[in-house]
Amino acid sequence: MKPNMIEARKRTTIKTEYLEYDNKINKLFNGEKYFLRTYGCQMNVHDSEQIRAYLENLGLEETDTLEKAKVIVLNTCAIRENAHDKVFGYLGRCKHLKEEDPSIIVAIGGCMSQEEGVVSEIEQKYPYVDIVFGTHNIHDLPNMIMNAKGNQDIDVYSIEGKVYENTLYKRDSKITAWVNIMYGCDKFCTYCIVPYTRGRQRSRKSKYIIEEVDALVKEGYKEVTLLGQNVNAYGKDLEGEISFAKLLESVAKTGIARVRFVTSHPWDFTDEMIDTIAKYDNIMPYIHLPLQSGSDRILKLMGRRYTKEEYLNLFNKIKNKVRNATITTDIIVGFPGETEEDLNDTLEVVNTCKFDGAFTFIFSPREGTPAAKMEDNTPIEVKEQRLYKLNELVNKYSKESNLKYLNKEVKVLVTGVSEKDEDKIVGYTEEMKLVNIEGDKDNIGKIIPVIITDAKSFSLDGKVKEEIKC
């Protein structure tokens, strides 16, 4: 079945079916290798944890060398144009391998597979791709692999309204875990492809979410991050379901050491949420709150449902009520029709909020979204200059935010060995600051006191408190 983006947009109501997935183990392969490449956001990273579990149920073992793989799976992203280019570039490498060994199975999943145009392109130009599966039917991948017979098998749902429980995950970490609380998004911001590729909002039932967190606590996990495109709209699609604030509270009460959540939409951010975050010590004071633009005119064109003033009011409310609140954001420059004045409005909000960090992007037209049809006369060079200007400001405040921690004591959940220096350990503060630490590897998995010795733009350096000799 091919995806249909128009259908996805037309559906105003969605009746979600709740099902138990039957996890069969079928050892078709005997220690042969799979290669899994993940592009994009945390949602994809977590989906890949599910893909990994299914592939290993088939008897496959992971390799990080493409050339050794019998099964190659690309879990793709569609949020911006460059994400596409990377995947199609990678497919070129797969083609050579398939020519040498036609029994290799190449599968493409993720958000790109949910785009009509992409599926047609794969059909026409990439016949050596064996399997195309979507974001709604990851669990079909094992069957598709078992039945791969050299013909292209495309199975992508466009208007699927199902939530499966009992799905498997092979998690990347034994310390921190992603927990999906909802799938899809109903906001339809005019630039964004997510409601088409991930579908309409479907919340999981809170009972299953709490059960999952309880099990993670028992397994010794220290942190869960509740995951969704728009987490604070949680439950709005389910009659009689609790609010996101209540869900946060229930998760905090499981006794997990740390609770985080991404991503929140300013429009759905309630006072009840702020009070809950402020009340529980194990709900981390870190909030990712996408601004997208500081211009009311552009915010309206983006369909964001708030004004600059409403955003600032919310920002201040959070800062006033949540101790040590750290707020990061996403900003898009070069939206169709954006003027220098609009950009200045955005820079002004950045100057006011002094964000602890920001992800910044140049607008990328995504086929099928309303913004892709809007007149856009700004040359790319001008957009690049705007991004540069914005980044300079954003980086200045990110560094300032880090400097505040110099010589201070912070609590770090140590997650592993530093990628930059294998003699160091690495972890995150409550405020989600990355810290490279001089300290013993026995601390991995523990929450430890650390004194910050240096502050960079995007990370901190520190020493375990006990090791500092006065």
Q: Which helix (H) or strand (E) holds 426?
A: strand 425-429
What is the chain's percent helix, strand, coil content, to nearest 5? Answer: 40, 20, 40
Q: Is 260 exposed, middle or buried (0-12, 13-18, 19+ CB in 10 A)?
A: buried
What is the total residue count of the chain? 470
Choose the binding region for ligand 5AD from 27-35, 148-156, 342-350, 357-365 (rule: CB under 6 A): 357-365
Q: Which does 366 bind (CB under 5 to 8 A by kind): ligand SF4, ligand 5AD, none?
A: ligand 5AD
Question: Structure tokens of 87?
Answer: 């995947």
Least CB distance from residue 96 to ligand SF4, whole Å? 36
For 178, list phi and psi in degrees, rounded to 5.
-85, 140
The listed partner (ligand SF4, ligand 5AD, none) that binds 401, CB under 5 to 8 Å by sort, is none
Instruction: Read off the tokens for 182.
Output: 């909802």
- Contact pick of 29, 39, 183, 191 for ligand 5AD (by CB under 6 A): 191
Alpha helices in 138-252 (DSSP H): 141-146, 194-197, 206-219, 244-252
Return the number of the residue (194 or 350) whose C-beta is nearest ligand SF4.
194
Within 387-426, which residues bind ligand 5AD (CB under 6 A)? none
78 binds ligand 5AD (CB under 6 A): no
Output 126 or 267, the one with its CB closest to ligand 5AD: 267
Report the residue number whose CB is nearest to ligand 5AD. Answer: 330
Residues 6+ apart with CB under 8 A from 10: none
Per CB under 6 A, the segment of 25-33, 116-124, 360-368, 418-426 that binds ligand 5AD is: 360-368
Cα–Cα distance for residue pair 344/355, rounded to 1 Å: 16
Binding region for ligand 5AD (CB under 6 A) out of 18-26, 114-122, 220-228, 361-369: 361-369
Rounded Cα distance, 220 and 106, in Å: 36
Measure Cα distances from 258 to 41, 57, 107, 227, 327 in Å: 21, 31, 36, 14, 17
> Which does residue 229 bind out of ligand 5AD, ligand SF4, none, counting CB within 5 to 8 angstroms by kind?
ligand SF4
Residue 335 token pair:
């939206």
Q: How far is the CB of 195 from ligand SF4 (least distance, A)?
A: 5
Taking CB under 6 A as the rule, which mask of x and - marks residues 327-346 in contact with ligand 5AD? ---x-x--------------
Q: Which does 265 bind (CB under 5 to 8 A by kind): ligand 5AD, ligand SF4, none?
A: ligand SF4
From 21, 88, 267, 361, residue interacting with ligand 5AD (rule: CB under 6 A) = 361
Q: Counting contacts by CB under 6 A, is residue 55 touching ligand 5AD?
A: no
In the complex, which residues of this chain contact ligand SF4 (CB under 6 A)? 185, 187-189, 192, 194-195, 229-230, 265
Q: Which residues of 172-211 are buried (b: 16+ CB within 10 A; e: fewer)?
A: eeebbbbbbbbbbbbbebbbbbbbbbbbbbbbbbbebbbe
340 token code pair: 């220098």
Binder among 364, 398, 401, 436 for ligand 5AD (CB under 6 A): 364
Q: Which residues would be at the binding site for ligand 5AD (CB under 6 A)?
A: 79-80, 191-192, 290, 292, 330, 332, 361, 363-364, 366
